[in-house]
Structure 1
Amino acid sequence: MTIRAVVFDFGGVLFDWNPHHLYRKLIVDEHERQWFLDNICTQAWNTEQDAGRSLAEGTRSLIDEYPHHKALIQAYYDRWHEMLRGPLPEGVQILKALHQANMPLFGLTNWSAETFPYALAHYPFLKHFQDIAVSGKMKLIKPDPAIYHASLAQVRAHLPDIQPSEVVFIDDVAGNIEAAIALGWQGIHHVSAERTAACLREMRVGF
């Protein structure tokens, strides 16, 4: 097996993104905060924006449903950058090592098209990617097979003859890896940078 390209997920692999980073400032009580994020500004709601719904529409629809939480809902995207604490150094170290080894690198991320430019502007290591599939731009979302096909098309724009089995995808969500493997990709479920590096070495991805 020869790996000719590595595709990275971003959140949980390269970035420390978590709504709690913001809402700890807004809701002091831990149980109240967890309830709010489990029941109002949920991950499922955020995923709708990652899938292409505008931030304004997503915010408006949720405020219409829960008007007494208006200020806290409005803060979600008004202060979104406070959820993005920064890079995960050990994951970025793997990325940079692969870049130095001249491995073609690509991104595949569930991320709103409206917030992703902030990451591009503030984190220069994203320039190491030859292309990035952003769910919000494509109006597709992992683990839908269609977004993997779109990502592979990006890879093939640079490596026209590459086969799915020559691509390895790194993601911290097991279901997203399972979806990639079902399409013939190689996959690494990222639970730690150390384990991911070991898996890459086992695949003889030199770095």
Structure 2
Amino acid sequence: MRQTISTIIFDLGAVLIDWNPRHLYRKIFSSEEEMEAFLRDVCTSDWNEVQDEGRSLEEGTNLLIKSFPQHETNIRAYYGRWEEMLGGEIEGTKNILQQLKESGQYKLYALTNWSNETFPIAWAIYPSLHWFDGIVVSGKEKIRKPDHAFYQLLLNRYQVPAAQALFIDDNIRNVIAAREFGIDSILFENSHQLKNELEKRSIIV
């Protein structure tokens, strides 16, 4: 029988914090097509995730410039103007998090793939990040989702039984990994859908 949920674990980027490199690169490129090609072929998600796993921003930037010297200015903008990729807190999710916090019924944690060099910027800007009982940042731990060891690290650190946890993430890869690990999970699409999923589980009313 399923145990009662006592702990809720949030992803942060695109779930609570509107981080998207397009917020920056729409200012730089004259067309969506050019921007999407750059993000697909040059400053890719896979490249960024290595920084999320602990590689320094300087090293990641320099390696990419060696491969794409013609794009040096735009590559340097990725972390040089990183704060411009932040679109604010996602209000619907923020409201849900606040409701959960005020209920006092759940431990609230975040498990995020995020560079340890850029996370302090968001930490200083967004009050909602301070509502968690703990945040595990991949760049600090040198490991990231979907590695099962990253999930285990949070469970061990905060003494959370997997069967009593609920995980929320916008990346299906990370949700599948959590489910494989025995953690009930919600694939985040938007705040309204998240609210519905939490209502189905009688976590919020």
Contact 1:8 1:108 in 2 (8 A): yes
- In structure 2, what is the equivalent of residue 159 of structure 1? none
Identity, % of aligned pairs?
Answer: 44
SS at match of 1:108: strand
TM-score by length of 1: 0.94
- In structure 2, what is the equivalent of residue 40 of structure 1? 42
Alignment of 1:1-207 (within 5 A): 1-102=3-104, 103-156=106-159, 162-206=160-204
Can you give the 5+ residue segments of structure 1 that lack an aligned partner in the other structure?
157-161
- Which residue identity lines up with residue 172 of structure 1 in the other structure? D
Per the TM alignment, residue 194 of structure 1 is displaced from its structure 2 partner at its CA by: 1.7
1:118-149, Cα deviation, whole Å (9 max, x unpaired): 11111111111111010110111110101000
Provide the C-alpha distance between the structure 2 equivalents of 1:75 and 1:203, rounded to a whole number of angstroms. 43
- Which residue identity lines up with residue 144 of structure 1 in the other structure? D
SS at match of 1:13: coil
1:164-195, Cα deviation, whole Å (9 max, x unpaired): 11000000111111111111111111112122
Per the TM alignment, residue 73 of structure 1 is displaced from its structure 2 partner at its CA by: 0.5
Provide the C-alpha distance between the structure 1 equivalents of 2:28 and 2:82, rounded to a whole number of angstroms. 13
Can you give the 5+ residue segments of structure 2 that lack an aligned partner in the other structure?
none
Tell me how many residue pairs correspond in the alignment.
Answer: 202
Contact 1:2 1:203 in 2 (8 A): no
1:33-89, Cα deviation, whole Å (9 max, x unpaired): 111111011111101100110000000100111111111111110000000111110
- Which residue identity lines up with residue 117 of structure 2 in the other structure? E
Per the TM alignment, residue 202 of structure 1 is displaced from its structure 2 partner at its CA by: 2.1
TM-score by length of 2: 0.95
Provide the C-alpha distance between the structure 1 equivalents of 2:172 and 2:48, rounded to a whole number of angstroms. 19
Runs of 4+ residues deviating >6 angstroms: none
Provide the C-alpha distance between the structure 1 equivalents of 2:62 and 2:80, rounded to a whole number of angstroms. 13
